[in-house]
Structure 1
């Protein structure tokens, strides 16, 4: 008996519901008909990917697993310091695979965090662990092709670009590819022996561009040598994200919302196709060759797509664009269809006594504006700017933390380099809260904040979390024009969770003991881990299987 668990990043319940109703996700519909389904509440006050995955994979809230954002503040150093959330050992609560290992069960994991230790070896019980996100070499970038030969680098790797008539040769060491504008797909180029990029030549605004994905170093480790060899032998060049930043700038041509014809969106979506291949290929290899009790697979393409497009077809968002929503939705349908295809492969591999879980770490909502909380704090006399225009933490009594996880921190004197007496923290946080409550959307009265909440596991006397309205994307960065609120170039986000149902994740499962066609309504996103352990015959403490958790779960966070 095997439990298969497929995770689609940022696969919102509201998006999946609409696509299933349209008949666009036949394998998701097949899974839901065969078992249970629900909308799953992500953690609060922060529902970025790391805390949401930690909750999904441990079945407990951030108060216990300790992950509060992409970076985790409160490391014992100066107020502005933080630690990487995905670092080995950072998740303080046992994951499902660790609990399974303690019971003698084995796991295969494809691009799942916290499966490879600080020593580079697989965690206990892992037959195979595939990871590349832990070692990024360089980010995506466009290169204008303006005539003669050019040279550029990707991390430590030098590359030569040589025009050859209508085509272009790109060389790295002894390897090269030749590309032209008429080529319909991306090409792989390996760099050294451990990484690579995907390349494509396009014409935009009368200029030729060489587009490239970012570069990462993949690792395939584990205790099953045959399985690790089979997986490693299939890996394509790894792309961890598409070319969203280049698309956002308009370098691919005008976006649909800027009067474009859809070609920029098609180029962006084609780059997400490189990501899909990077993740689907090792997942299918594991499906073919594994003998594990638990198989966990992660797919980021739905998140990549959502950040760049979803707001324009989110009718509850101020970013909604009815004039282009249908055209955008066609691209959403395509990328979710790729994810559904992988679910179909999982369902085809699973036997009658196996269990299949589909989940997501969180949902996603449209964003219309970017908010710069530190601009409001500076204007209120609570934070300071350096002479070159950046935030100066050492001279700031209160700051919106550079970790960008939604938290306000007092720079009190118990911290190294602290500025103000700890006894003043409560009053300073109240002033900071008042300054942020006063922020509204430009030209209107819509407030930026939806409430405030205690920090999970932190000291509420010196830390407070802001619950932003989902239409406002917060950033710790400052602006040259010192505006606290400005239009957002990114129309989809999931940073703080104020209970908005658009942030609910998809969840569905079938297997022994699960009645077909049952809708549980809304559950906490702790339920999938508890169900996975139950289907493995275990509880969270490793003891024999408990009852399925009560789906009538408590709200995660209450705004104040």
Structure 2
């Protein structure tokens, strides 16, 4: 019976109740969506043809009248209608269902005259060979509007009045909550696209300073035409894996499951940890699933929590297999080989033996070497190139299978700073796929007694769509995930500035940074050009990597700060920021007028020159114990600073393997840990090293933390400290200055930046302080999507352009 007679009045009632609930929830996107549903149904009730069984003239030989009256006539006379329609003021509606019945009665009373007008205005006949029905030509619509225009204007006005009245009444029934009048979602799905790029370690203050000094012009232009946050609150701990998880899911660590770069495993002992960079422990839906779940295509390049791919595909962790809409590419997890510096001591030269062909032209004797890499043997030849004016060994050839052709040729040259063109890559077959090893010959003496050959790390690129892996490799030349920071810190690229260097080591390191950025750019281009995507999520490991090395020397609060050294290092930091800015600029250039570009980060960076070992303090307090091997002895340990170094202490509960603390004793152990760690003093100053220990159970704490994969207490440290999970050494120790992040996310220097620009975004707007969890819901709103399923962040309504 309902199918035959319709259920429109009751559907309006259901939609009305949804609108009241949306107003009460205070969610602008939900309010707009519910208001649109009410509008659709109530507007339909005002069309005369919707009140009769003969709704399209199909029973009276007038088929197509529904479209002619409701659509074609309206579109033809839109300008007149816009100026002539005069809705009345909205009024309070007591019963939406009863209102809709009254509307339908009015519509029914207008139906017969509409059918009569259609019949009498139609032309005499339809010519069979024409594509359109000739009875309904321009003259027909002129006559029809002359007869029906007054009635059409009246129905449109009444519709606007009644819809507005329902909106007003729903707001009133919800208690008249405050509503952000500037909010709008100007684009529906697939009418706009988005690129989200995260610059690792991009502290808000660092970016502000770089923009002010003209170091990052691309970011400056983006800020001018977009909406910019003064800061973005990161997670506790403020580290890469949890910071990105919050960014992508719109939920804090306690809800999304990523509680650190390493996470605690609740079913195992307190000493067990697992990788937080993977998707294994992700419990909240990330933005790329949000997009795919709602019909958009998303591509992700090198973001955290994408690998293994299973949770997004056949495991259906987030409610479905979204493989049809996702292209995930990741090379940080899986097969990888660290970078390396080769010297003459590691590359003994010997006279060249038999090769598979004629050796390159050379003067004198050629010397051969072998390099073992990922199970493969790379054959090398050092020789004197006759075409090179340098005398003695001046060239290196690297290839496979003792084949003197098809490999790469390297020449020693001075460091080039932010220019990676002197790198050359070899393709390796590892793990069932192709990976690149890039080599750079920095030094080669004429007799081969001095060699400085750098090789990048080797990473195997994997995709949720395995068929594109080879194409991605061919287009990009392979993935390089990090620069030569560790080799630089060890002095393997030459002495750094603080050890008397002349800047050559820093410029060599910058070359490796530029190589990483170049390869990331090529992969981003591949995703933009060769994958179906409405959303692209990508990443760059800078400035984080460089700041870990240099920020301790730049921080004037670190003891022994050297302003002259800091000034010299600042120029190299600026070069890294310029490289990151060029990456942003490239993506901005690739973003058309339909594409949003958002630049975010995961955390900021602070300086440290002292190290705290909480586990040593817990051992000294009798709360933890070590065995004869110097390892934690769980049978005598009540609490431990998590070995994954994620900023928290775990109580060794009986409910976990090896646990000894009963539920009755948990509070006393917690109190004893607080006393022990708050009592730690810096031996040099006598001042406390620990400000507080934060209990994640405290209500309304932001960022919220803890939960199954998190901790029982979180450290809050005095500025200038780093932290280690080691049980060996002193409780507090002076260390070489370094850049750190992890604890105290509320500190300004540990908060990241954020800017978004593009269609529908307000230009030149300051968002003030935001939270990492606000980014994904905001981008979803701009794309016409519901927010990520577990998101608790808010839509940044200031981002959205006013009408």
Normalised TM-score (structure 1): 0.88
User: CA offsets, 1:163-211, max 9 Å, x none?
Assistant: 5435445455567545453375333222225223222334599953332
State how far apart, in whole Å, the 2-side matches of 1:393 and 1:177 are: 54
CA positional deviation for 1:232: 3.7
Q: Hey, what does 2:373 align to over in structure 1?
A: 154
Q: Hey, what does 1:212 align to over in structure 2?
A: 455
State how far apart, in whole Å, the 2-side matches of 1:79 and 1:218 are: 33
Secondary structure of the 2:299 match is strand
Instruction: Tell me if 1:527 matches 2:774.
Output: yes
State how far apart, in whole Å, the 1-side matches of 2:614 and 2:434 are: 41
**Any gaps of 5 or more consecutive residues in structure 2?**
1-191, 314-321, 351-368, 384-392, 416-421, 697-704
State how far apart, in whole Å, the 2-side matches of 1:7 and 1:291 are: 21
CA positional deviation for 1:74: 3.3
Q: Hey, what does 1:131 align to over in structure 2?
A: 330
Gap change, CA 1:541 and 1:107, over 3 Å in 2: closer
Q: Hey, what does 1:31 align to over in structure 2?
A: 222
Gap change, CA 1:78 and 1:228, over 3 Å in 2: closer
Instruction: Tell me if 1:43 matches 2:283.
Output: no
Instruction: Tell me if 1:364 matches 2:364.
Output: no
- Give the alignment of 1:305-324 within 5 angstroms: 305-318=546-559, 320-324=561-565
CA RMSD of aligned residues (A): 3.1
Gap change, CA 1:527 and 1:547, over 3 Å in 2: closer
Of residues 440-449 and 53-62 in structure 1, the stretch that sits farther from structure 2 once superposed is 440-449
State how far apart, in whole Å, the 2-side matches of 1:204 and 1:261 are: 19
Q: Residue 263 of structure 2 contacts residue 709 of structure 2 at CA under 8 Å; is this kept in 1?
A: no
Q: Residue 44 of structure 1 contacts residue 497 of structure 1 at CA under 8 Å; is this kept in 2?
A: no
State how far apart, in whole Å, the 2-side matches of 1:229 and 1:210 are: 28
Residue 75 of structure 1, aligned match among 240, 246, 266? 266
Gap change, CA 1:441 and 1:67, over 3 Å in 2: same
Q: Hey, what does 2:426 align to over in structure 1?
A: 189
CA positional deviation for 1:229: 6.7
- Give the alignment of 1:441-480 within 5 angstroms: 441-455=682-696, 456-458=705-707, 463-479=712-728
CA positional deviation for 1:466: 1.0
CA positional deviation for 1:72: 0.9
Secondary structure of the 1:345 match is helix
Larger Rg: 2
Gap change, CA 1:168 and 1:72, over 3 Å in 2: same
User: CA offsets, 1:435-458, max 9 Å, x none?
Assistant: 322334451134322322134243
Q: Residue 630 of structure 2 contacts residue 727 of structure 2 at CA under 8 Å; is this kept in 1?
A: yes
Q: Residue 257 of structure 1 contacts residue 324 of structure 1 at CA under 8 Å; is this kept in 2?
A: yes
State how far apart, in whole Å, the 2-side matches of 1:67 and 1:167 are: 48
Q: Residue 553 of structure 2 contacts residue 737 of structure 2 at CA under 8 Å; is this kept in 1?
A: no
Q: Residue 39 of structure 1 contacts residue 521 of structure 1 at CA under 8 Å; is this kept in 2?
A: yes
CA positional deviation for 1:313: 2.1
Of residues 75-84 and 464-473 in structure 1, the stretch that sits farther from structure 2 once superposed is 464-473
Greater strand fraction, Structure 1 or Structure 2: 1
Gap change, CA 1:204 and 1:17, over 3 Å in 2: farther
Q: Residue 279 of structure 2 contacts residue 311 of structure 2 at CA under 8 Å; is this kept in 1?
A: no
State how far apart, in whole Å, the 1-side matches of 2:394 and 2:589 are: 45
Q: Hey, what does 2:25 align to over in structure 1?
A: none
Gap change, CA 1:43 and 1:63, over 3 Å in 2: farther
- Give the alignment of 1:136-285 within 5 angstroms: 136-146=335-345, 147-148=348-349, 153-159=372-378, 163-164=382-383, 165-173=393-401, 176-182=407-413, 185-192=422-429, 193-202=433-442, 208-222=451-465, 231-285=472-526
CA positional deviation for 1:419: 3.2
State how far apart, in whole Å, the 1-side matches of 2:586 and 2:745 are: 35
CA positional deviation for 1:413: 2.0
State how far apart, in whole Å, the 1-side matches of 2:258 and 2:484 are: 28
Query: Relative contact order: is structure 1 or structure 2 higher (C-alpha 8 Å, sep ≥ 6)?
Result: 1
CA positional deviation for 1:125: 5.1
Q: Residue 318 of structure 1 contacts residue 366 of structure 1 at CA under 8 Å; is this kept in 2?
A: no
Residue 343 of structure 1, aligned match among 548, 559, 584? 584
State how far apart, in whole Å, the 2-side matches of 1:204 and 1:316 are: 41
Q: Residue 762 of structure 2 contacts residue 798 of structure 2 at CA under 8 Å; is this kept in 1?
A: no
Q: Hey, what does 2:199 align to over in structure 1?
A: 8
Residue 672 of structure 2, aligned match among 428, 431, 441? 431
Q: Residue 320 of structure 1 contacts residue 366 of structure 1 at CA under 8 Å; is this kept in 2?
A: no
CA positional deviation for 1:520: 1.5
Gap change, CA 1:461 and 1:517, over 3 Å in 2: closer
Q: Hey, what does 1:19 align to over in structure 2?
A: 210
Q: Residue 40 of structure 1 contacts residue 523 of structure 1 at CA under 8 Å; is this kept in 2?
A: yes
Q: Hey, what does 1:555 align to over in structure 2?
A: none
Q: Residue 554 of structure 2 contacts residue 569 of structure 2 at CA under 8 Å; is this kept in 1?
A: yes
Q: Hey, what does 2:786 align to over in structure 1?
A: 539
Q: Hey, what does 2:244 align to over in structure 1?
A: 53
Secondary structure of the 2:277 match is coil
CA positional deviation for 1:81: 0.9
CA positional deviation for 1:216: 1.4
Give aligned pairs, total: 546
Gap change, CA 1:490 and 1:252, over 3 Å in 2: farther
Q: Hey, what does 2:593 align to over in structure 1?
A: 352
Q: Residue 594 of structure 2 contacts residue 759 of structure 2 at CA under 8 Å; is this kept in 1?
A: yes
State how far apart, in whole Å, the 2-side matches of 1:64 and 1:331 are: 39
Gap change, CA 1:430 and 1:199, over 3 Å in 2: farther
State how far apart, in whole Å, the 1-side matches of 2:302 and 2:335 are: 14
Q: Residue 239 of structure 1 contacts residue 274 of structure 1 at CA under 8 Å; is this kept in 2?
A: yes
CA positional deviation for 1:320: 4.5
Q: Hey, what does 2:630 align to over in structure 1?
A: 389
Q: Hey, what does 1:495 align to over in structure 2?
A: 742
Residue 567 of structure 2, aligned match among 326, 332, 336? 326
Q: Hey, what does 1:292 align to over in structure 2?
A: 533
Residue 98 of structure 1, aligned match among 289, 297, 311? 289
Q: Hey, what does 1:399 align to over in structure 2?
A: 640
**Any gaps of 5 or more consecutive residues in structure 1?**
553-560
CA positional deviation for 1:132: 0.1
Of residues 521-530 and 41-50 in structure 1, the stretch that sits farther from structure 2 once superposed is 41-50
State how far apart, in whole Å, the 1-side matches of 2:522 and 2:407 are: 23
CA positional deviation for 1:385: 2.9
